[in-house]
Amino acid sequence: MEEPWSPGLWERPGRFMAAEAGYPEAQWVLAGAPLELTVSYRAGTRWGPARIREASYALETYSPHLDRDLEELAIHDAGDIALPLGNLGQSLARIEAALRRPYAGGKRVLLLGGEHLVTLAAVNAALDRYPDLVVVQLDAHTDLRDRYLDEPYSHATVMRRVLDLVGPGRLWQLGPRSGLREEFQLAREQGRFYHDVEEGADALAGQLAGPLQGVPLYLTVDIDVLDPSVAPGTGTPEPGGPDFATLLRALYRLARAGARVVGADIVETAPPLDPSGRTEIVAAKIAREILLAFTGEVAQ
């Protein structure tokens, strides 16, 4: 059986480049989650997964920085998870259900969003397989509010809900430069917070040779971690972020340190907000580099 999921759970946009493998042999399972129900400023994230896939064909499969090629990997693009319009609870439940199976089979998962709240469902799915999971967030925003507009589930509260799941010390935040005073206080109290993404990557890399050696990591990349001059197509852009090369250096630093990334996502890409189309190309290249940098054997 090619794809062991419930009928009607998946939709079929185009594939990400080189994602031609069947499910059984896949090292990576790529999926889209076009959720857009709690965005707080500008809309457009529902188009992220499809446009990132389309933009991937503007790139080569080979990464000269890593000297690796997507053609050398077994990547299965499962499609987009079919989400019921207007139903947040059911949408999160469907994302979680769709991702639980590949995690249970020891496969790595790359999720394309969609708004950042998809990370909560993805982390929930991963925790079934990896109860000691550590989450690494690259983001312009802390996303640590307990409620936003009196709602506990929002792209502005997503990392607070993730922190509730994984507990203090297991959420690393790299790059936040926007949020409430209370959010920054909480971020500092839980002890894994860095304004500078490279400084944070260096600190985490140091832990990977010690107490976090071999620990499974989930990597969530909000595209707005980048300066809006690099990636303007996002709902809540925040000036003052790193450039693209700086972000890649941070990812490569973790890869060189042996980070065991079992799952990742790229979220908050809103293509209609960027007529130039460069934001989805940036997101597609980040996806390529994640797939190549963090490929290896996942301990069973």
Position 38 scores a pLDDT of: 95
The pTM for the full model equals 0.95
> How many Å from the N-terminal Cα to the C-terminal Cα in the chain?
22
Position 12 scores a pLDDT of: 74
In order along its 300 residues, the chain shows pLDDT tens digits of 344 455 567 877 789 999 999 999 999 999 999 999 999 999 999 999 999 999 999 999 999 999 999 999 999 999 999 999 899 999 999 999 999 999 999 999 999 999 999 999 999 999 999 999 999 999 999 999 999 988 999 999 999 999 999 999 999 999 999 999 999 999 999 879 999 999 999 999 999 999 999 999 999 999 999 999 999 999 999 999 999 999 999 999 999 999 999 999 999 999 999 999 999 999 999 999 999 999 964 333
